[in-house]
Amino acid sequence: MSCTHHVAGRCTNDLALPLFGETPSPGVCSVCPHSTAPAEGRTILQAIAAKAKRTAAYVNAEASLALEGPVAPDVAERRLALCTACPSRLPSAEDEVGFCGACGCGERSRARLTVKATMPAATCPKNLW
């Protein structure tokens, strides 16, 4: 069941209209504070929306590396120094820095902090860099 304010593809809630407009997507509805959708359904939609957001951020970061090349060495070093001191860092036996435990990227080769720190558009989920 979707939100009862969502009628014929249009939002009818006066409080939500200024936030998301007249025709919000299901992903937008899943994060709307005024939604009447059951919590379980919203949780699934929120998970889908979060994954889509992570995927878009990953594609953007890889594209920035491909188009702009890696960041300057001092920028990557500063990023890695912050990661090394961060409590969210997940150590790895395969390199000295490891992975971020806060971004949701998992422990894939392209998610290594030594790789992510070189990507111009990569960002820290805690806004440390």
Name the residues that contact ligand SF4, by CB under 6 A.
82-83, 86, 88-89, 100, 102-103, 113, 124-126, 128
Contact 66, 50 (CB under 8 A): no
Q: How far is the CB of 12 from ligand SF4 (least distance, A)?
A: 40
Q: How far is the CB of 71 from ligand SF4 (least distance, A)?
A: 14
Contact 97, 84 (CB under 8 A): yes
Angle at 65 between CA 64 and CA 67, to 5 degrees: 65
Q: How far is the CB of 46 from ligand SF4 (least distance, A)?
A: 21
Q: Please, which residue, 76 or 83, has the CB nearer to ligand SF4?
A: 83
Q: What are the E-state strand segments in 1-129?
A: 6-7, 10-11, 89-90, 99-100
Q: Please, which residue, 27 or 70, has the CB nearer to ligand SF4?
A: 70
Q: How far is the CB of 96 from ligand SF4 (least distance, A)?
A: 13
Integer angstrom CA distances of residue 51 from 39, 44, 45, 111:
18, 11, 10, 15
Q: Please, which residue, 39 or 93, has the CB nearer to ligand SF4?
A: 93
The token pair at 45 is 């939609």
Q: Please, which residue, 25 or 84, has the CB nearer to ligand SF4?
A: 84
